[in-house]
Amino acid sequence: MAAQQLPGLIISDVAGRAFTVLSGSQVLGVIVPPYVQDDPRLARVYDERASDEVCRHLTHRTVRDLLPDRAHNPTDVPVVDPDATTIEAAAVMARLNSPLVAVVDEGQLIGAITVSWLLRHLLPA
């Protein structure tokens, strides 16, 4: 996400089936300690403690740990099929407040669309 400036992650299983889609802010939610999320000003007070916890989280957590419970509800995952219209993809991103949608063909992940990419196609040139 950092190197390629991606707005989020799509997590798939070994067979390439999309499992869930996480926005960048959801990924941050996994690495920032909960007590700091509840009151961000605590990061300043407990700066060293907060940084240590983030490093500990990063060292010991795997992508599997990023999977939220919501992955079990398919309608809460921003996914469209290859026949979806541009407006449909935009509607899915708007409804789920997601910066990207996965494009999945019969369970197989075939691509992703970001908000800025979609806007480039939606708007008149």
Residues binding its own copies (CB under 8 A): 1-7, 23-29, 31-32, 36-38, 40-41, 43-44, 47, 50-51, 54, 58, 80, 83-85, 87-99, 114-120, 122-123
Task: Specify the residue, 12 or 26, whose C-beta has the smaller distance to its own copies.
Answer: 26
Residue 88 and residue 122: Cα distance in Å, rounded? 11
CB of 82 to its own copies, least distance (A): 12
CB of 59 to its own copies, least distance (A): 10
Q: Kind and range of the H or E element at 15?
A: none
- State phi, psi for 21 to the nearest 5 degrees: -125, 130
Task: Report, in Å, the least distance between residue 53 CB and its own copies.
Answer: 9
Burial class (CB in 10 A: 0-12, 13-18, 19+), 78: buried
Do residues 26 and 37 make contact, with C-beta atoms less than 8 angstroms apart? no
> Nearer Cβ to its own copies, position 78 or 109?
78
Minimum CB distance to its own copies, residue 14 (Å): 26
Strand ranges (E), 67-107: 79-80, 100-105
If the CB atoms of residues 50 and 102 are measured against its own copies, the closer one turns out to be: 50
